[in-house]
Amino acid sequence: MNEKRSRRAKLGLLQAAAWAALLCGCSGEGSDIGPTLPELPKASCKAVVLDDLGRGIVGASVVAGSGATPVFSGRNGRTELFADPRGRVVVEVNGAYAAAAAGDRLGALRVATTVVGPDLPSPIWLPELPDATAATLSLGTQVSTTVVTATSGALLTVPVGSSVGLPSTAANVTVRAGVLQAAHLPGDLPAPVTGAILFGRGLFLDPPAVTFAPAADLDVPDDLLLGGAFASLYRLDDTTGEWTEVATGFTSAGNRIQAPGVVATGGLYVFGTVVAATTVSGRVDDAATPPVPVLPVRDVMVNVDHRRTLTDTAGNFVATGVPATFGDGSPRLAVIELFAGGFWLPARLEATVLVTGATTNASTLVLDTMFAGNVRVQHIVRGRADTLRESRISTVLGDVALATTSDANGQLYFEDLPSEWFGFQDGLAKDADEVFYGQALAFLEDGRRWFDIYEFTFERPWYVGARSSRAIVTDALGGGPLMDAVIVQGSVPGQGFIGKTLESGTFVVTRDFAGRATASRRSQRGGRTIVHAFSIERPDGEHIELPLQRVLRAPLGAFDRHGLVAGDVTGADPSREHRLRVTRRISRQEWWADVAEGVPIPSSLPIDVDPATTHAAYQAGVAVAGGNLAAAELATTPVPTLLKAGIVADFVPVEGGFVPLDIPLDLVADTPFVVSGAFTGASADIDRTSLTYALALLQPSRRVVDVARGLGYADVPGPPDPSLTFVLPELIGSLEENQWLVLLQGSKVVGGATLSHSSQISLPRAPGSTFQLPTGFPTISSPAEGAAVPATGFTLQFGLPPGSIYATIELRSDTGAELRLWQATVPGTATQFSFVQLPPEAVTPLVAGRTWSLSVTAAFDGPEVLPDISDPYRDQSGFAQSIGTSERGVRVVASRTITITTN
């Protein structure tokens, strides 16, 4: 490790001792004894699978060598082979059940490659096979001519009289055409004795086993610029994985290359022509910023056009045999594509360099990567596996934060986590006195590919009195510590600087924090900037969390690891509207945060065939550790109303595979669920004619199934009823121990301000339970709607409705390129909050010349939740990140939002 980085790590070790102790199992009550993670194979070799646009393919099957066990690509298109292949190896990659984008169809390749380094020497790009290129042919002699057109403009013509064959008993075959850029052609392409071969775009004809006798015609755009030169046609043998020449002597006419009678079977084809050669060299450095020094990146997979090489230990590369000109001798740009090797965080960079003769220097290229590995997690509580548990993690460096759900053994792993410091923080309300809480900080060494941690959760009081507070600045999503955040105490303009966080993200400060605790930080990545400050007014107790948003690194892939399921939504009326929701197993808090707070569930799964279009057939991905599918049939007038639903809960798919699964619409919405007196005393600003709600199923495990969103509340006719009535499916049979969760929402513009509210309601109601919609909304007396306020600071004057346990304040301005955000938590008795200029060591969100939304949101608890907690604000405000809004017992929120400007 670099000396400066090592010194920084040692400083962090001293400050992180308390967190690291938890990692070793020091949590009491026997929690240091529990299940262990299974041992992994010692061998390691990584493969990368991408589509032609460079997106990570999730769920592609990879088999490297005869008899090897298939493995499947993850969220960055990368997978671990747990093997040590060497020499010439045939790699089979199948994207039949994989996805780079929802609804895509990917091909399969068998490629021979020589493995000399720690990983496969190059990514494998799979062609997409769009339905728009498809043509269905009857097996046997053709009675008419069929043309298959690729997105590149290439044409495959199967003439009348040609016999189409397939090694199966099917009556017909659907032929699809896919395209690969020349730089993405797989394997080792042919090379002449002198010069180089310039290859064009590849054409993949699926299925490879289809045959044409006599052979079909091929007609492609001349992207070789042949001029008077000749081209040859090559095919990748789908058995050996080697390239062979099919035919030669083709010329260009009208900017197209025509090759009649050359395609006897499917597979991957490409034209090439011999030209002069050049050698392209360069260097690859990482994208570190001071004070961290820039370092060379070794083992980078470098493609220069279709020539493969790796960077050495100094980050240098040399690619020989690169085409120097087009076929007509005109100069060309060489395409350089970099992909970080298996010891590094997945990162891809594409660049071009003008070929300048026999040698070409590409100079220094910067690849935004760093050392990385995979982290396996075992959740343990009281010495036993804590199963199906939401798990979050984030890194100090590298801007990665992840969240998912563990499996039935309480186990999971996070892929491609940047090396050095990472951590987690996890909390869950137990009762009015205690919470389950866990926290850890760990160090992943450079070059370590797998690292195991045991996340222990233990019981602790909500409130612990002390002379001082340990303030923890954490990533808002992952819960791990943030470095370089400034901690400020008090609210005196320009004063109160305490310090800047190191790897542990912590500072110890006097308990009252001079009345206010604030953390502030700026982050930048990929043209996006976030300036975020988070404040807690009147902090108390020894534990304070200050979560901050930062710009996170975007993964190369779009989805979680998943397996495909497909079938029909049975019992559907085609005249009705249909919706499908697919999620991993999620908690009540994740559902609340997504619907009520606009914080998306950190998970994404593809819906390839949507019953909204088909009204029957569907195809979707389900998370590998298990997930939920919910189909809904709706009437759309006068408002979207649930008629029927179908739920498949806790379904565990086959990773990288396919499982047939129908979703019967067997839950008929015919049972009224009444919430008595909900409107009694409710604010007159609630418009009951425009209410909408989201519906979820609360399982006995306390996890939820997300069923439907955007349903309209159909008010009963006649005089206003003080009750709410929802017509939903009856909870009988297998659902007898479940509950419906309704998240009722509404908004209204009053005097230029937007009033909005969200209320979470459990159905059926327990006997004697009460529920009330907001009795009022926060008021804002200053500043006024549309007012201009000084960018140097201003005081917000507001009022909260009776019964507010706390309020959140948010000042937000987002231009797309830059988000400036100040969030604060204040007691339910508060009447003002001063936005001030922070001390010069900190970054202040306030800036002149911006338009801002300013919101005050009051939170009310549900009477059935934590009724005996002594001081809700004091006890709960310290757990701002680890214990979410819904988990704290909040069931109703009401907010007022105005727009202001700064000058």
Q: Please choose, from the candidates 51, 129, 130, 124, the residue with its C-alpha nearest in 3D space to the C-alpha of residue 93.
A: 124
Label residue 230 by pLDDT band (50, 70, 90).
Answer: very high
First to last CA, the chain: 47
- Separation CA 32–CA 816 (nearest Å): 47
Q: 520-523 long-range contacts, Cβ below 8 Å, gap at least 24?
A: 520/485, 520/486, 520/488, 520/548, 520/838, 520/842, 520/843, 520/844, 520/845, 521/473, 521/482, 521/484, 521/485, 521/486, 521/548, 521/550, 521/843, 522/843, 523/399, 523/550, 523/551
Between strands 124-126 and 46-51, the pairing is: parallel
Give the side-chain half-sphere CA count within 13 A for 563: 18
Label residue 362 by pLDDT band (50, 70, 90).
Answer: very high
Helix count and strand count (H, E) for the chain: 5, 66
- Separation CA 497–CA 145 (nearest Å): 78
Upstream peptide bond of 130 is cis (omega within 30 degrees of 0): no
- Separation CA 438–CA 456 (nearest Å): 6
In angstroms and rounded to an integer, the radius of gyration of the C-alpha atoms of the chain is 30
Find the length of the chain: 903
3-state secondary structure of 874: helix
Predicted confidence at residue 432, as pLDDT, reads 86
Beta strands in 778-844 (DSSP E): 779-782, 788-789, 793-799, 806-814, 818-827, 832-836
Contacts of 465 (CB under 8 A, 6+ apart): 511, 541, 542
Q: How confident is the model over 604-661, as pLDDT tens digits?
A: 999 999 999 999 999 999 999 999 999 999 999 889 999 999 999 999 999 999 999 9
3-state secondary structure of 512: coil
Task: Count the Cβ atoms, other than its own, within 10 Å of residue 214.
Answer: 12
Contact of 185 with 305, CB cutoff 8 Å: no
Label residue 1 by pLDDT band (50, 70, 90).
Answer: very low
3-state secondary structure of 879: helix
Predicted confidence at residue 718, as pLDDT, reads 66
Contact of 556 with 50, CB cutoff 8 Å: yes
Task: Count the Cβ atoms, other than its own, within 10 Å of residue 870.
Answer: 10
The answer to whether residue 95 scores a pLDDT higher than 60 is yes
Contacts of 328 (CB under 8 A, 6+ apart): 225, 226, 227, 228, 229
Give the side-chain half-sphere CA count within 13 A for 73: 37
Higher pLDDT, 10 or 62: 62
Q: What is the mean pLDDT of residues 137-142?
A: 97
Predicted confidence at residue 17, as pLDDT, reads 36
- What tokens appear for 799 in the block? 């009022």
Task: Count the Cβ atoms, other than its own, within 10 Å of residue 810.
Answer: 16
Contact of 240 with 268, CB cutoff 8 Å: no
Contact of 550 with 399, CB cutoff 8 Å: yes
Q: How confident is the model over 767-798, as pLDDT tens digits?
A: 888 899 999 999 999 999 999 999 999 999 99
Contacts of 217 (CB under 8 A, 6+ apart): 155, 156, 157, 159, 258, 259, 260, 261, 262, 263
The answer to whether residue 27 scores a pLDDT higher than 70 is no
Q: Please choose, from the candidates 367, 414, 376, the residue with its C-alpha nearest in 3D space to the C-alpha of residue 395.
A: 414
| Sheet strands side by side (includes 87-94) | 71-72, 61-64, 87-94, 108-115
Contacts of 529 (CB under 8 A, 6+ apart): 522, 523, 551, 817, 818, 819
- Separation CA 329–CA 331 (nearest Å): 7
Angle (CA) 35 40 45, round 5°: 155
Give the side-chain half-sphere CA count within 13 A for 59: 33
Q: Please choose, from the candidates 784, 404, 808, the residue with its C-alpha nearest in 3D space to the C-alpha of residue 587.
A: 404
Q: What is the mean pLDDT of residues 301-316?
A: 96
Per DSSP, the residues of 255-317 read TEEEEEEEEEE-EEEEEEEEE-EEEEEEEEEE---TTSPP-B--S-EEEETTEEEE--TTSEE
The answer to whether residue 763 scores a pLDDT higher than 90 is yes
Task: Count the Cβ atoms, other than its own, within 10 Å of residue 796.
Answer: 23
- Separation CA 324–CA 357 (nearest Å): 7
Higher pLDDT, 61 or 169: 61
For 273, 338, 563, 619, 621, the CA distances from 558, given in Å and listed in that order, are 37, 20, 14, 17, 12
Q: Can you name the residues that pair with 39 across neighbouring β-strands?
A: none
Indicate the residue type of 298.
R
Q: Please choose, from the candidates 293, 323, 291, 294, the residue with its C-alpha nearest in 3D space to the C-alpha of residue 306.
A: 323
Per-chain mean pLDDT for the chain: 93
Weakest mean pLDDT among 611-615, 698-702, 866-870: 866-870
Q: Please choose, from the candidates 664, 561, 551, the residue with its C-alpha nearest in 3D space to the C-alpha of residue 621.
A: 561
Element holding 607 (H helix, E strand): strand 607-609
3-state secondary structure of 202: strand
DSSP class of residue 331? B
Element holding 710 (H helix, E strand): strand 703-712
Contact of 380 with 466, CB cutoff 8 Å: no
Q: How confident is the model over 721-747, as pLDDT tens digits?
A: 899 999 999 999 999 999 999 999 999
3-state secondary structure of 596: helix
Q: Please choose, from the candidates 345, 378, 398, the residue with its C-alpha nearest in 3D space to the C-alpha of residue 451.
A: 378
Q: Is 237 exposed, middle or buried (0-12, 13-18, 19+ CB in 10 A)?
A: middle
Look up tokens 């084809």; give the residue: 269
- What tokens appear for 736 in the block? 């007898």
For 96, 103, 338, 588, 818, the CA distances from 128, given in Å and listed in that order, are 10, 11, 21, 38, 35
The answer to whether residue 586 scores a pLDDT higher than 60 is yes
- Separation CA 650–CA 705 (nearest Å): 9
Phi, psi of 10 (to 5 degrees): -65, -40
Q: What is the mean pLDDT of residues 391-410?
A: 96
Q: How confident is the model over 829-840, as pLDDT tens digits?
A: 999 999 999 999
Upstream peptide bond of 208 is cis (omega within 30 degrees of 0): no
Predicted confidence at residue 2, as pLDDT, reads 40
pTM of the full predicted structure?
A: 0.93
Q: Is 116 exposed, middle or buried (0-12, 13-18, 19+ CB in 10 A)?
A: exposed
3-state secondary structure of 4: helix
Instruction: Provide, rounded to the nearest whole percent, the portion of the chain with pLDDT above 90.
Output: 89
The answer to whether residue 469 scores a pLDDT higher than 50 is yes
Per DSSP, the residues of 18-31 read HHHHHHTT--STTT
Task: Count the Cβ atoms, other than its own, within 10 Å of residue 53.
Answer: 11
